[in-house]
Amino acid sequence: MSAFCLESESGLRLEGLTLGATLTSLTLPLAEGRRELLLGCRPQDYPRQQVWLGAVAGRFANRIGGAELRREGQCWPLDANQPPHCLHGGSGGFHRREWTLVEQASDRVVLALCSVDGDQGFPGNLEVTLCYRLAGNDLLIEFDASTDRPTPVSLTSHAYFNLDGGSDVRAHRLTLRAERFLPTTPDGIPLSAAVVEGVFDLRHERRLAADWGSHPQQRQARGYDHAFVLTPGEAQWVARLVSGDGRVTMEMHTDQPSVQLYTGNWLAGTPDRRGGVHEDYAGVCLEAQQLPDSPNRPELGDPWLLPGEHYRHRTRYRFLGT
């Protein structure tokens, strides 16, 4: 496990580990000093934490119902690490893998990973490259992948943001440009897409804590843990998050078809940087990805990558401080 550190010309600083291609720290200079924007823990705790803290989720982010793949009469059983389903690629997914450091400069790092045929049950050898890059106040995350057999691919960064540098993230205000979201069963498997309503209508800025628990889907999940369907080709930012104190704003751009909004509903007991533990709702994830459970459900999209095709994912987070 090796560490890397990047810094942009504007002073945005990113730290990470090759284990899980994990982002461990992101600090933004403000008038009173640097503010930490990511949740993290001590280096020795990353191999044992169970919440994908800052790591890459893959080979397929989010849930695959029944922990199996079905395609053209074939069936592949997957690792049922959230029984009876497969979550974020399995217990030995990309978050537990040692990535190869291919290239590093002051403002960028390139990592690579080979996921072999049968890894966590997934078919095909998958070659992945990942570039983290800083440009001004932007963090760019760029995934590329290819395969020698049909396989579903959905890669994302499972970074937990807290733009206040601490405290309950529900004090943040969020805008999410999505007209539909995926309600779920009690165990997190998506139902059919529904029009946003109530606390799920985030098209106008909303404090996350506002009317908390007023929607049955939110009560069921103990918060937000839902995919929001994005409009293809949207050029503007798709999400804007503002810190509770109003000092930091994060804008998110992505070319992916959905964003999973997760408010850290099950963070309690996760190690933190000080040797203590995080509490529930200490961070919020905005994970750009394919729609959950889509490998077996064509109505949710087609995430299958075929030989000769190229998987491409581009997400940019922009941070503005006052």
- Choose, from 95, 158, 226, 313, the residue flagged as catalytic: 158
Give yes or no for a contact between 214 and 198, defined as CB atoms under 8 angstroms apart.
yes
Contacts (Cβ under 8 Å, ≥6 apart) of 75:
68, 69
CA-closest candidate to residue 215, choices 205, 202, 203, 204 = 202
Give yes or no for a contact between 314 and 142, defined as CB atoms under 8 angstroms apart.
yes
DSSP 50-79: SS-TTPEE-SB-SEEGGGEEEETTEEEE--
Give yes or no for a contact between 154 and 289, defined as CB atoms under 8 angstroms apart.
yes
Taking residue 25's Cβ as centre, other Cβ atoms within 10 Å add up to 17
Annotation marks residue 278 as catalytic: no
For residues 184 and 318, give the distance between their C-alpha atoms in angstroms, rounded to a whole number.
Answer: 30
- Choose, from 95, 253, 278, 287, the residue flagged as catalytic: 287
Tokens of 193: 């897409």
Give yes or no for a contact between 321 and 30, defined as CB atoms under 8 angstroms apart.
yes
Core vs surface per residue 283-318: b (16+ CB within 10 A) or e: bbbbbbbbbbbbbebeebeebbbeeeeebebebbbb
CA 309 to chain centre: 23
CA-closest candidate to residue 106, choices 27, 8, 183, 11 = 8
Annotation marks residue 158 as catalytic: yes
Residues classed as catalytic: 158, 287
